[in-house]
């Protein structure tokens, strides 16, 4: 199991950041290598179920994401199913007139990705992906853009 966790300060209120990330198509806009989000279905808990394609080590990996926790303006938790398994937990906290967004991920990767890349490379890759995603969300709200 690989873990990655990081936090960013977003120059927008919690409600705006949560609303932005509550749309799965926006995840594709800010998550490097997430190529496609499709078949979005709203769940009774307010969350979503969707299919996705993620590119890793030159391969397109298809899977499903189910949002198991949907606490408006506080938290979203996603379960990854398919060849990539794990969880992604996003927490939203008011901070200095903006939002402190924390992204915590736990992943199990397909064996071939580990074999090809090696554990240290995969670990650094995951940490960079989390940081890049947080930076992309922050950029979306920089200077009142969203």
Length of the chain: 146
Distances (CA, A) of 124 to 9, 42, 72: 22, 33, 31
The structural domain count of the chain equals: 1
**Cβ-proximal residues to 10 (8 Å cutoff; 6+ apart), any chain:** 17, 98, 99, 100, 101, 137, 138, 141
Question: Under DSSP, is residue 29 helix (H, G, I), strand (E, B) or coil?
Answer: helix
Residue 59, domain extent: 2-144
Residues in CB range of 75: below 8 A, 6 or more apart: 69, 89, 90, 91, 92
pLDDT in tens, 90-137: 999 999 999 999 999 998 766 655 455 566 776 787 788 889 999 999
pTM as predicted: 0.85
More confident: 89 or 113: 89
Q: What is the CATH number of the domain that holds 35?
A: 3.30.530.20
10-37 pLDDT, tens digit per residue, is 999 999 999 999 999 898 889 888 888 9
């Amino acid at each position: 199991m690989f873990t990655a966790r990081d936090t960013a300060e977003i120059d927008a209120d919690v409600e705006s950041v949560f609303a932005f990330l509550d749309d799965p198509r926006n995840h594709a806009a800010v998550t490097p290598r997430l190529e496609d989000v499709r078949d979005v279905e709203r769940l009774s808990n307010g969350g979503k179920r969707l299919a996705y394609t993620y590119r890793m080590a030159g391969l397109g990996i298809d899977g499903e994401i189910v949002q198991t926790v949907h606490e408006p303006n506080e938290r979203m938790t996603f379960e990854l199913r398919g060849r990539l398994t794990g969880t992604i937990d996003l927490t939203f906290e008011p901070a200095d007139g903006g939002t402190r967004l924390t992204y915590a991920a736990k992943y199990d990767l397909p064996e071939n990705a580990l074999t090809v890349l090696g554990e240290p490379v995969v670990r650094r890759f995951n940490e960079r992906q989390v940081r890049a995603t947080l930076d992309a969300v922050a950029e979306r709200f920089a200077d009142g853009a969203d």
